[in-house]
Structure 1
Amino acid sequence: MNDISQQIPLVRSTPEPPSDLVVSAHHVVKQYGDAANPVTALGGVSLGLKRGAFTAIMGPSGSGKSTLMHVMAGLDTVSSGEILLAGQRITGMNDTELTKLRRRQIGFIFQAFNLVPTLDVLGNVMLPFELDGRTPTAAEQGRIDTILATLGLANRLTHRPHELSGGQQQRVAIARALATSPDIVFADEPTGALDSRTSREVLGLLREAVNSSGQSIAMVTHDPVAASYADRILFLADGQIVLDSAAMSPEQVSRTMLNLEQVSA
């Protein structure tokens, strides 16, 4: 196998104290299929995501990057290993506990936006509170108003998703993800359905959320430009983290991905 680390400058992260980590995974294995013919999506992955950082997760198709995000977010279970979110062990939680955790401590941004078509902008943004059976505090409402204004949505609150452009819909999804001030926001290909200009705007908004309010973001992407907005980039191949790099330019990301695809071929 080619040594990718010799081809691309690599800065490996140093271990962080547990208090500095928003999510940590310890020897996580995820297998699909039956015992006789298991398919390993993650093969003993261990990592920690630092609070207030923007992490990109990349890799060739089938590398396990989406599976890694799903198990860290409690959207899927692990076959073995342990995942901690904000100090809580989420592996082993039941469905009710996981639902509450996702609602209160995690934000999600998806490529397909996942907005409720019958709700207007404000209804979609307030949905996490509605599902949790509570109204925002005065401080939370003030923060939500600021987010809506910052994202240019203050004059669109009564519009429904079909009345918005793709970029505006993604802004609503970002506002909804940030509304509850979650411990971490998971973004799954958040710019995949957007044109290049709108993608840059959305990525800039995510970067600003990290810079201005210390939001923690983990983003799965195949786009080198998107990955270049991150503080740290994790590269997966065959269910393993094969590179753990500090920020890279889009050109460096592209070269790394090409090398990984050649090795995996």
Structure 2
Amino acid sequence: MTTALPIPPGAEAPSAHPVVAARGLTKHYGAGDGTVHALRGVDLTVARGEFVAIMGPSGSGKSTLMHLLAGLDAPSGGDIRLGGRDIRGLDDDALTELRRERIGFVFQAFNLVPTLDVIGNALLPFELRGRKPSREERAFIGALLDELGLADRLGHRPRELSGGQQQRVAIARALAGRPELVVADEPTGNLDGRTGREVLCLLEGASARYGQAIVMVTHDPVAASFADRVVFLADGRLVAEQGRMSPEAVAGFMLSLEAGR
């Protein structure tokens, strides 16, 4: 399977323009002595065309951070800007619209609609927006599905696909609407090593080829090695960030975090 993704209509070259920026981000649950501090003053900026992996020990706050960046939860303090827009204080309807229009999601469990075939799942973002894709958008989606190795599976439902094929459909759905930000939660967790690497190459290509900002939560050093930058959390704090790292370097740093707990 090739990983050279098609260029979408109106695509721009990657730039340093921030897609999502968090400042002083905090999140706590409960009150009094039972308060749990999931995040403690995290700053993070992700630019167009940047693929960022978030890593950390269990309970470090990495999933909480991803949920906040994607507007799936509200912070206790600090601010989050998506495309320059402050998303704190948006009501549920506004957040739902923001997620539909500007964020794509790739989950470990695929989360495909079982009654829809491949093309139906890929077009779901447009259905949720209440509009049909343009001719140019349909051409891009068709080319995307072809590059993902799904051209001969368009009429198949999820149960008729392998795990790797289902995750490719999920990637097509996430990219089809050309969102500014794609969040991926353990996207290779249910895949074998070879298929997982193919999926990571696709995500890497999406950021490099036409400027998707991708934030991926993972526990896998191999997965993190595909990212342009690796961000490490511990006890709710951002404790380090590095440029592209080898799997061995990622694993070594994670061991040092575990040992220091």
TM-score calculated relative to the size of structure 1: 0.91
What residue number does 1:125 align with? 122
* 1:20-45 CA distance string (max 9 Å, x none): 11000011110011345210000011
| Distance in 2 separating the partners of 1:92 and 1:36 | 27
Look up the match of 2:206: 209
1:219 partnered with 2:216: yes
In the alignment, the residues of structure 2 paired with residue 156 and residue 263 of structure 1 have an alpha-carbon distance, to the nearest angstrom, of: 48
Native 8 Å contact 2:222 2:247 kept in 1: yes
Count of aligned pairs between the two proteins: 247
Q: Are the counterparts in 1 of residues 27 and 38 from structure 2 also a CA contact under 8 Å?
A: yes
Q: Does 1:47 align with 2:9?
A: no
C-alpha distance in structure 2 between counterparts of 1:197 and 1:141, whole Å: 29
Where structure 2 has 5 or more consecutive residues not aligned to the other structure, the ranges are 1-14
State the distance in 1 between where 2:229 and 2:187 align.
17
Q: Secondary structure at the match of 2:112?
A: coil
Indicate conservation of the 8 Å contact 2:28/2:36, yes or no.
Answer: yes
2:113 aligned with 1:116: yes
Give the corresponding residue for 2:59.
62
Query: Cα deviations across residues 91-116 of structure 1 (Å, max 9, x unaligned)?
Result: 11000000000001000000000001
Partner residue of 2:176 out of 173, 179, 183: 179
* Residue correspondence of structure 1 range 183-194 to structure 2 within 5 A: 183-194=180-191
Distance 1:33 1:155 in 2: 50
In the TM superposition, what whole-angstrom CA distance separates every residue of 1:45-77 from its partner, at most 9, and x where no partner exists? Answer: 111111111000000000000000000000011
Deviation at 1:244, TM superposition (A): 1.0
For the residues of structure 2 that align with 1:194 and 1:82, how far apart are their CA atoms? 35
Task: Find the aligned partners of 2:177 and 2:32 in 1 and give their Cα distance.
Answer: 40
SS at match of 2:27: strand
Structure 2 counterpart of 1:139: 136
Q: What letter corresponds to residue 214 of structure 1 in structure 2? A: G
Comparing 147-156 with 137-146, greater Cα deviation is found at 137-146
Deviation at 1:261, TM superposition (A): 0.6
Alignment correspondent of 1:102: 99
Query: Following the alignment from structure 1 to structure 2, what is the Cα–Cα distance between the partners of residues 170 and 240?
Result: 31
Q: For residue 121 of structure 2, give the secondary structure of its aligned residue in structure 1.
A: helix
1:141 is displaced (CA, Å) by 1.2
Q: Where does structure 1 differ by over 4 angstroms across 4 or more consecutive aligned residues?
A: none
3-state DSSP class of the match of 2:152?
coil
Deviates more, 1:34-43 or 1:198-207: 34-43
Match of 2:71 in 1: 74
1:19 positional shift: 6.9
Q: Which residue of 1 is the match for residue 151 of structure 2? A: 154
1:233 paired to 2:230: yes
1:14 aligned partner: none
Which of 247, 250, 261 is the matching residue for 1:253? 250
- What residue number does 1:23 align with? 20
CA contact (8 A) 2:60 2:235 kept: yes
- SS of residue in 2 equivalent to 1:136: coil
User: Do the aligned partners of 2:185 and 2:218 also contact (CA within 8 Å) in 1?
Assistant: yes
Hey, what's the Cα distance between the residues in 2 that align with 1:222 and 1:36?
30
Q: Distance in 1 between matches of 2:16 and 2:102?
A: 16
Deviation at 1:142?
1.4
> Displacement, 1:212?
1.6
- Give the CA deviation at 1:154: 1.3
State the Cα deviation string for residues 92-147 of structure 1 (Å, max 9, x = none).
10000000000010000000000011111111111111011100112211111111
% identical equivalent positions: 61
CA contact (8 A) 2:16 2:47 kept: no
Q: Tell me whether 1:86 sits opposite 2:79 in the alignment.
A: no
Q: Secondary structure at the match of 1:155?
A: helix
